Amino acid sequence: MDPSKTSKPKHARNYIPHNRKWVTIKRHSPVVTKSIYAGIISALVWGMTIYHFDWSFPKEDENAILFISLMFSAFTYVIFAGYAVNKVLDEYKIVSKAVVKNDLETFLLYRDEQLPILIHLPVAGITFVFVFFVMFFPFSSAWIGGISVFSVVFMVTLIYKVVMELDNYENSIWFKEKIPPEWYKINIERYFKEKGQ
């Protein structure tokens, strides 16, 4: 018998059967579609107002805006947004492992944890500055400007939606199926106080 033709054993995957393929695509599609809508609306507003009435910055300020304002805001945005994504993703993984191991204590430590407001504020502020300078940048044509505005707004909105989705894992079908309902009813402070921790 040819060993190459022998069938490999299937691994037992830890997933929810009714949450695969089209179902999971359908559930996560609003994250992308809402980002697309935000990009399209922003591009249309830019075209009908800023570009139409020529409210852009003067053409001679193009280099200053490009190499100072936009570059600095984009650089700081990457730092804070990258931190936010990494933080929620790490916590998401920890909670996933706690659920698989039936580790109630670890789950409770992270159950109500969310990104602090001091992370949301700089990300929101930097995003506003970044989008502002993009929208008022003196583009050479409506097409280039519209595509640029759409792309930037789409990307920052998509990152925001992904962070919010990961930060609120209760929306996940996998977590809903795997986490016992009584785990959500436990008073965390009382639980650890009774355990003497």
pLDDT digits (tens, 9 = 90+) for 139-195: 999 999 999 999 999 999 999 998 988 888 777 767 877 888 899 889 999 998 888
User: How far apart are alpha carbons 114 and 116 in whole angstroms?
Assistant: 6
The whole-number pLDDT of residue 172 equals: 72
Whole-structure pTM value: 0.82
The whole-number pLDDT of residue 32 equals: 93
Mean pLDDT of 21-40: 84
The whole-number pLDDT of residue 66 equals: 92
The whole-number pLDDT of residue 23 equals: 64
Mean pLDDT of 4-14: 53
Mean pLDDT of 78-100: 92
The whole-number pLDDT of residue 10 equals: 57
Q: What does the pLDDT look like over 94-145, one tens digit per residue?
A: 999 999 999 999 999 998 888 889 899 999 999 999 999 999 999 999 999 9
- Are 145 and 137 a contacting pair, CB within 8 Å? yes
Q: Using pLDDT thresholds of 50, 70 and 90, give the confidence band for residue 21.
A: low
Q: Using pLDDT thresholds of 50, 70 and 90, give the confidence band for residue 22.
A: low
Enter the tokens of residue 115.
């990104």
